[in-house]
Structure formats: structure tokens, C-alpha cells
Structure 1
Amino acid sequence: MDFLMSGLAACGACLFTNPLEVVKTRMQLQGELQAPGTYQRHYRNVFHAFITIGRVDGLAALQKGLAPALLYQFLMNGIRLGTYGLAEAGGYLHTAEGTLSPVRSAAAGALAGVMGAYLGSPIYMVKTHLQAQAASEIAVGHQYKHQIFPPQSWKVALAAAMVSGIAVVLAMTPFDVVSTRLYNQPTDAQGKGLMYRGLLDALLQTARTEGIFGMYKGLGASYFRLGPHTILSLFFWDQLRMLYYTYTK
């Protein structure tokens, strides 16, 4: 039941924060491997991106990829919060004296986060493809025209796991940028012609061609999304747990 309540809580938060995820995805793909000033900036900042997407693609486009986003949140956070909740209920986070152990708590949280991100990775890739789809005049990155699970979906699970284990936005953003690009890079049926060979190669290429600021594309959207999503997830989780324990006792 902890897994179910955790997943539902994350889905509730996702309904409100998915538009910011759409904005973040497009800003991170904008000007991919192009030097600053050599490409047209369709999205100048978070607020301009909202207006541009709503005006050109329509307001419904701000909720693109919602179905896989909800499924991803249900799996990832259901596993993450549910596993952590089980560890807490089982007393594994406390010392022999009964006090909460920061080391055990951090280790349990990191392990739960990595598990959730890894298992949800294929769905995250589909979400990224759908959120990147746009009208030609504001399109960025590779434009996939499908809604299936790509064959290389598990190859970038490590990047997603690394992102989920970094708590600070400034530290997370470079990995988030390259993770989005790894998920959205085109490939043929033989797996050849990839733009990036892996996480480290994506980091190096981005830094070399776009500079340090290229590593922080979509930072504003990430910042504005992280707070509300975390607060709403915990709020819904707490309310669901209260309802469950109220009606089962």
C-alpha cells in the first residue's frame, strides 16, 4: 500500500508541474551542440517559453507527454517513497539507541531513488520524445514522430539514476541537460550514428561547444518545478496516508 500511495501522490504533483517539464525539456534541447549566438533562440526564458509554446503549439501542448509522465512518476516515486517508507517502518533507519541515523537515511534514500529512476527509464524516454515534439517554427532537438518504447531505452538508465541521486539543482542541472539529450538523440535500427557515446561524452561535447552556460540550460524551469513538485508530492503522500490509516483502523 505504501507503494500505491507514494505513486498516486507523485502523479497528483505531476499534473501541476508537467508544463514546467515540457518547458525544461525544450530549453535543454535548444541549440544542442551549437555555439552560443549561432542559432535562433525560440525560448529565451521560462516565461517566454510558456507563452511561445501556448501561442504556437496551443495550450494543450503544455501538457505533452502527460500520460508517460504520470506513469513514470507512479513507478519512480512509488518505488522511491514506498521503499524508503518500508525501510522507515522496519526500523532500518534508526540506530540501536533508537535515534534516526543520517547516514542510513541518506543511503536508503539514494538507493531507493536509483532503483526508481532505473526502472522508470524507458518511460522517461518516451516522455522526452513526446515533450520535444513541436511545430516546425519552434522545434528543437530531434523530432520523433512515434509513441513507442525505443530499443535503446535502457542504455541511458545510468544517466537517469545519476540525476535522481543529486539533490541540489545547481549540481543536478548539467546531468539533467545531458540526460535529456541522451534520451532524445536519434539512432538507426543498428544503433549506429548516435550523437553521443555516453554520459561523459555528452558532458564533454556540451561543455566544449556551448560553454559553461550550455550546461545549465533549463535551470529556471528545473528550479521552479522542483520545489512545487516535491512539496505537492509529500503533501499528497501525507494526506493519502492519513486517509488510509484513518479508515483501516
Structure 2
Amino acid sequence: MEMVIAGVAAATAGAICNPLEVVKIRMQLQGELKARGQYAVHYRNVFHAFYTIATKDGFFALQKGIFPFILYQFSANSVRLGLFQLANQNGLTRNKNGSVNASKTLFYATTSGALGGVACSPFYLVKTHLQSKANEVKIAVGHQHSHEGTFHAFYTIYKEFGFKGLWRGMSSMVPRIAMTSATQLTSFEVIHEFTKAQFPDRVWTPLCLASFGTGFFMTLGMAPFDVIATRFYNQGTDANGKGLLYRTAVDCAVKTFQKEGVRGFFKGWTACYFRLGPYVMLVMVIWDRLKFQHQEYLRNKMSIPDGVVSEAA
């Protein structure tokens, strides 16, 4: 049940934040393997990207890939958040006095994140292909795949490269999700514990402060891994399923640095934070409330003897 609750929380937040994911993907692919000044800038910043996509591709283009994005969020977070919650419930992330142990939290957050990366890889592959595809050729960035929709994408990839082809790019996803999980869950636990001590009589204030603080650390830590994953997944392939631009995730990182420098790893950083700030808050708030409601349900169920029906019923 813990895994389902975590998955539902993340999928709900993902559905709301999908337009920012589309913008982020386009900005990360813009100027791929080209030095500054050697490519056309279609998306100057987050707001310009929103405007450009909406006016050139159509308003609904901002919701491209929403279905696989929701599936990606559910599969990744039901595993990583669900497993982390189980570790947390069993006291594996805390000291003997009940306080947060940063090193233990980091270990379980990273491990659960890596496993989540394996589970979500096919959905991330499809959502990246769909979100990078522009209706208007003039604003296209990165490799443009010919998928007509989610099911067509899965069918095409499977038909060409088999079941294994759906996990192409996973080597870049595992470190990305592991880093995301490590920074998110560790920073959230530490910041949330601190803010609860500052605002002992409030529930929402510590939750919101911890969420937005976590969003900053997540974006800072995962940005390079996110750029690499986006490009590695989105690249075109030859008849054997080999990438046309990058052999491995490391090769992608090296080529990006050689052509674009350190700045290349932080393309779309603002869009990434604008997505992760509210996303983390939504995930943590929804996850916290769902866990609370589930615990209340279990407590109420245990307090009512079998066969006894309340007068109110």
C-alpha cells in the first residue's frame, strides 16, 4: 500500500507539472553539442519557451507526453518513495533517539532511487521522444522521432528493437533517479525536521518550506544528470539500436562538456526548478496527506470490533 500511495502522489503532481517538463526538455536539447553562438535560439528562457511552443505548436503541445509522464512518475516513485517509506517506518533511516540520520537516509534514498530508475525507464524513453517532437519544424530541437502517440511509440520501439529496446538509455536513468532521490529525500527529511522544531504548532509551514528548499537542492544536484538522460534517451539510433551521437551516458557527458562546457549541463535549469519547486511540494503534501488518511483508516478499522456497526451507519 505504501508504494501505491507514493505512486499516486507523484503521478498527480506530475500531471499538473507536465507543461514545465515539455519546456525543460526542449531547452535541454537546444544547441545540442554546439558551442554558444553556433545555433539558433528558439527558446530564450522559460517564459519565452512557453509562449513559443503555445503559439507555434499549439497550446495543447504543452501537454505532450502527459500519459507516459504520469506512468513514469508512478513507476519511479512507487518504487523509490515506497521503499524509502518502508525503511523509514522500520527506523532504518534514524538514530536511536529517533532523529534523522543523514548518512543512513542518503543510503536508502539512493538505493531506492536506483531501483526506481530501472522500473521507469521505458516510460521516460517514450515521454522524452514525444515531448521533444515539435509540430513546427522551425522550432524543432534535438532528434525528431516519428511517433504518433504513446501506444504507437511503444509499439514502434518494440517492433524495431524488441523488449530490450524499451530499456535503451537506462544507464543514464539510474544515476539520475539515484541522485534525485538522494538529494530530495535527504534534504527534505533534514529541512523538515529543522522547520518543525521552529514551527511546532504548524503543519503546512514546515512542509512547504522543506519542499521548496528541497526543490532547489534537487535541481542543483540532478541538473547535469537530467541533461545527459534527456539527450541520451532522445538521440536517434541505427538499425542495430545503437545511438547515433552517444555510445554511453559517460560518452554523452564527455561530448557535452567538450562542445558546450559546464554551462551545457545546466541548460533548462530554471525550467527544471520551476517544475521541481511546486512538484516537490505537491508530491510531499499529497504523499503526507495520503499516508495520514491511510493511517487514520487503519486506526479506525482496528478500533472497531468485527461485527459491530456504529449507530451513525
TM-score under structure 2 length normalisation: 0.75
Query: Alignment RMSD, CA only?
Result: 1.7
Aligned-partner Cα distance in 1 for 2:59–2:295:
39
Q: Which residue of 2 aligns with 1:3?
A: 3
Match status 1:212 vs 2:262: yes
Match status 1:80 vs 2:80: yes
Q: Greater CA deviation, 138-147 or 205-214?
A: 205-214
Aligned-partner Cα distance in 1 for 2:98–2:286:
28
Unaligned runs of 5+ in 2: 184-216, 301-313
**Matched length:** 249
Aligned-partner Cα distance in 2 for 1:92–1:187:
43
Q: Greater CA deviation, 144-153 or 41-50?
A: 144-153
Aligned-partner Cα distance in 1 for 2:27–2:143:
13
The Cα offsets for residues 12-51 of structure 1, whole Å up to 9 and x where unpaired, read as 1112211111001001111111222122111011110000
Match status 1:229 vs 2:279: yes
- Secondary structure of 1:148's aligned partner: helix
Letter of the 2:173 counterpart: A
Match status 1:157 vs 2:162: no
How do residues 100-115 of structure 1 correspond to structure 2 at under 5 angstroms? 100-115=100-115
Letter of the 2:275 counterpart: R
How do residues 27-38 of structure 1 correspond to structure 2 at under 5 angstroms? 27-38=27-38
- 1:241–1:171 CA distance, 2 compared to 1 (3 A): closer
1:212 Cα offset (Å): 2.6
- 1:233–1:192 CA distance, 2 compared to 1 (3 A): closer
Q: Greater CA deviation, 235-244 or 90-99?
A: 90-99
1:94 Cα offset (Å): 3.3
- 1:193–1:246 CA distance, 2 compared to 1 (3 A): closer
| 2:117/2:178 contact within 8 Å kept | no
Q: Which residue of 2 aligns with 1:170?
A: 220
- 1:98–1:219 CA distance, 2 compared to 1 (3 A): closer
How do residues 42-121 of structure 1 correspond to structure 2 at under 5 angstroms? 42-96=42-96, 98-121=98-121
Q: Greater CA deviation, 12-21 or 140-149?
A: 140-149
Aligned-partner Cα distance in 2 for 1:187–1:38:
24
Unaligned runs of 5+ in 1: none
1:172 Cα offset (Å): 2.1
Q: Which residue of 1 aligns with 2:237?
A: 187
Letter of the 1:160 counterpart: M
1:119 Cα offset (Å): 1.2
Aligned with 2:153 (options 148, 157, 165): 148
1:235 Cα offset (Å): 0.6
1:96 Cα offset (Å): 4.7
Q: Which residue of 1 aligns with 2:194?
A: none
Aligned-partner Cα distance in 1 for 2:33–2:282:
35
Q: Which residue of 1 aligns with 2:246?
A: 196
- 1:193–1:112 CA distance, 2 compared to 1 (3 A): closer
Letter of the 1:49 counterpart: A
| 2:168/2:233 contact within 8 Å kept | no
Match status 1:137 vs 2:187: no
- 1:170–1:245 CA distance, 2 compared to 1 (3 A): closer
Aligned-partner Cα distance in 2 for 1:98–1:192:
49
1:234 Cα offset (Å): 0.6
Tell me: higher relative CO, structure 1 or 2? Use CA pairs within 8 A at least 6 residues apart. 1
Q: Greater CA deviation, 161-170 or 173-182?
A: 161-170
Letter of the 1:148 counterpart: A
- 1:51–1:82 CA distance, 2 compared to 1 (3 A): same
Aligned-partner Cα distance in 1 for 2:13–2:227:
22
Among the aligned pairs, what percent are the same residue? Answer: 46
Q: Which residue of 1 aligns with 2:17?
A: 17
